[in-house]
Amino acid sequence: MFDVLSYYSNTTLMILDILASKARNLPLFAESGLLGTLLKYATAADLPSTTTSTLAKASHFASSCDEDFEFKHMIWVVLADVAKDNMEAARLVSDSPFIHVLLLYVSPQSHHGGQHFTPAQRHVLQVMALHVLSTLAPRMPDLFVQLLGHVALLEFVQTSHDEDASALALQLFHELISTSNDMQTDVGNIGGVEVMLTLFADVARAFAVCGAMCHHHDANQTRFRRAHGVAVLSLHLHFEPAHAVSQDNLIVSVVGCVWDSIIGNAESELCLIQSEGVDNLLDLLEVCPQLMHGQVLGVLAELCENVKAVAYFQAWKSKTQCSATQMLLRMYADEETRLGVQRPATGLLQNIARPLAMQVTPPSPSSGGGSDKQPVVAFVRLKQALVHSKGTRHTDPSRRLVTATAKVDLRSKIFAVLASVGFSCVPDDLSFNVFAKEFPVFLVGEEWLNVKLALYAQNIRPIYADALLMEMKLEHVYSVVTKVRCCQEDIYARKESLKAKDEALFFAGVRHQKEQERQTSSKKTVSNSSMKSHLEAKKRKADMLRKSTMVDQATDECIDLPTKYVFTDPPPVYNDL
């Protein structure tokens, strides 16, 4: 019978948790008195002095069996879901000892009735208590401090060896410190900054907590600098894309801590600049993921307002020998491509009325029609059911971060950095340089144009003074846009002229080379032909000599042949007288 009752109790809590997911049901928990009953059952086993006769026996719901352990787990979840979005429920929770009970499970020095749970069960309840506190404590920070929750939490962070539990505790610290300056002071006074600095080597969330403690808090920023926090941050201000998975979100926390703990404090900024902070930030901007571009650019924009940082910015070179200004201008061009701003291949400004206008993808005609919409609705319902079945009613934080980052226009932050250090660049980037200089003017012009179109759309006719002011503002912006367009055309014409000259020089060199090759070839041809004719003449002469020799021999033979048959007169006879 006991198991059946526990089963029905836990099933009832599951139904209550489903009901708590609807905002319209939350007031009924307090009005019906159900919330008070749940609070009594949630604290009775840990604070026996609060037990009343209206509750069941402790052995029926506060034993170490699996059913009672699940009962305690479920009742904490229901209380957190009810109190997080309802002010009356949060007030009832703050008036009860529920927060004190949760701190008993977190505090490493506590000894209470919850010891009847096994060590594994106590660990699960400890993690669950941190989850519930992260939901409720930011809504009642005064009560949390009154119960010395920040002291217990700091002791837990120092002594805990569980990485998951420590991460939850640090996340709770981060949320609490962000609520008020009093919480920053209270945590700083008990040594929170020093403790977080000792945790930097092990826990990435310590950076976020330390940054939250130093955010707009001069005393904690001074403590951070004197504890050599700037040097520690400089050591971690590096990002290796190959180790992106193992580093998790460490670099994001580091940059956030730089922004909160150093930026705005002149002495801390000087320490960061002297420890090559500008070079490290630019190196990080070159290789970091696109999601971090806005964060790093914001830190650079704030840091470069310090005149001592400008020299480091201008002297920086990337691995490809690209200057910092060139890198930012190319990022500006990439940002316009991402936002869908229409630019021709020449880079000239096209839209005179809206130079910053982004391309909006029109809806597909095939998406219309009643039959096509029903599968989409069914898919959405199926997705909602799957999300609810997994026990979560919140969007994935990573997806929310990606969505929020995609809506940010980085061009304003790039302009803020370049406005502090100057717009000098190489000739190849002059066209974008001229355009980026006037970004604030274009932005103001877009707003004035939106105001004018909104008034026209609502059939509102402004008074003469307002209409004249709008026209003057728009005319000023139009003149600036026209000037930028003319400058870009001039730059493009000069670039094309230089390109034409380079091409002419190139082709002239090619023609000269070909002429030299032709002359060399003709000389070789002439020498070869003269040698050939000489050989032919020599051959002809040899043939003539040979032929003449043969003729002479034939003549000699012809002359010698008749002499053999010539009759000669007898020799004269001389008679003596």
Task: Return d(Cα 185, Cα 216) in angstroms, integer.
Answer: 11
Neighbours of 195 (CB within 10 A): 18
Of residues 162 and 16, the one with the higher pLDDT is 16
208: Cβ contacts below 8 Å, ≥ 6 apart? 170, 174, 253, 256, 257
- Tell whether the torsion through CA atoms of 318, 322, 323 and 328 is positive or negative: negative
Confidence of residue 248 (pLDDT cuts 50, 70, 90): low
Task: Return d(Cα 495, Cα 19) in angstroms, integer.
Answer: 69
Q: Count, in order, helices (H) and strands (E) of the chain.
A: 28, 0
Task: Return d(Cα 423, Cα 440) in angstroms, integer.
Answer: 14
Per-residue pLDDT tens digits for 178-191: 776 777 788 888 88
Task: Return d(Cα 117, Cα 160) in angstroms, integer.
Answer: 19
Task: Provide the pLDDT for residue 465.
Answer: 92
Per-residue pLDDT tens digits for 77-100: 888 888 887 888 888 888 888 888
Per-residue pLDDT tens digits for 51-72: 454 555 555 555 667 777 787 8
CA 569 to chain CA centroid, nearest Å:
136
Q: Could you identify the residue written with the tokens 């504890």?
A: 227
Nearest Cα to 209, choosing from 152, 169, 149? Answer: 169
Please determine, for residue 271, whether its predicted confidence score (pLDDT) is greater than 50: yes
Task: Return d(Cα 136, Cα 334) in angstroms, integer.
Answer: 43
Helices (H), 340-396: 370-389
Per-residue pLDDT tens digits for 496-541: 888 888 888 888 888 888 888 888 877 666 556 666 777 788 888 8
Task: Return d(Cα 62, Cα 97) in angstroms, integer.
Answer: 17
567 DSSP assignment: -
512, burial (CB in 10 Å: exposed 0-12, middle 13-18, buried 19+): exposed
Which long-range contacts does 239-243 make (Cβ < 8 Å, 24+ apart)? 239/284, 239/287, 239/288, 241/287
| Residue 444: strand, helix, or coil | helix
Confidence of residue 472 (pLDDT cuts 50, 70, 90): very high
Q: Could you identify the residue written with the tokens 């020299």?
A: 311
| Cβ proximity of 265 and 218 under 8 Å | yes
Tell me what the mean pLDDT of segment 244-273 comes to: 81
Q: Can you list the domains of the chain with their CATH numbers?
A: 1-179 (1.25.10.10), 198-316 (1.25.10.10), 317-356+407-477 (no CATH)
How much is the pTM? Answer: 0.56
| Residue 309: strand, helix, or coil | helix
Please determine, for residue 367, whether its predicted confidence score (pLDDT) is greater than 50: no
| Residue 317: strand, helix, or coil | strand
Task: Return d(Cα 38, Cα 468) in angstroms, integer.
Answer: 66
Task: Provide the pLDDT for residue 503.
Answer: 87
Q: What is the largest CA-CA distance in the chain?
A: 210
Tell me what the mean pLDDT of segment 294-313 comes to: 89
| Cβ proximity of 170 and 208 under 8 Å | yes
Task: Provide the pLDDT for residue 376.
Answer: 47
pLDDT, mean over the chain: 76
Task: Provide the pLDDT for residue 468.
Answer: 92
| Cβ proximity of 150 and 187 under 8 Å | yes
- End-to-end CA gap in the chain: 201
Q: What pairs with residue 323 in β-bridges?
A: 317
- Phi and psi torsions of 346, nearest 5°: -75, -15
Confidence of residue 2 (pLDDT cuts 50, 70, 90): very low
CA 37 to chain CA centroid, nearest Å:
48
Please determine, for residue 365, whether its predicted confidence score (pLDDT) is greater than 70: no
316: Cβ contacts below 8 Å, ≥ 6 apart? 278, 279, 282, 323, 324
Task: Provide the pLDDT for residue 366.
Answer: 40
| Cβ proximity of 130 and 140 under 8 Å | no
Per-residue pLDDT tens digits for 115-141: 567 777 777 888 888 888 888 888 888
- For 68, 132, 133, 254, 302, the CA distances from 47, given in Å and listed in that order, are 17, 18, 18, 42, 52
| Cβ proximity of 108 and 130 under 8 Å | no
Q: What pairs with residue 330 in β-bridges?
A: none
Which segment, 156-170, 354-368, 443-457, 562-576, is predicted with the most confidence on average?
443-457
Angle at 287 between CA 283 and CA 292, to 5 degrees: 100
| Residue 463: strand, helix, or coil | coil
Task: Provide the pLDDT for residue 392.
Answer: 45
Q: What percent of the chain has pLDDT over 70?
A: 74
Task: Provide the pLDDT for residue 391.
Answer: 47
| Cβ proximity of 160 and 108 under 8 Å | yes
Please determine, for residue 417, whether its predicted confidence score (pLDDT) is greater than 80: yes
Rg (CA), the chain: 46
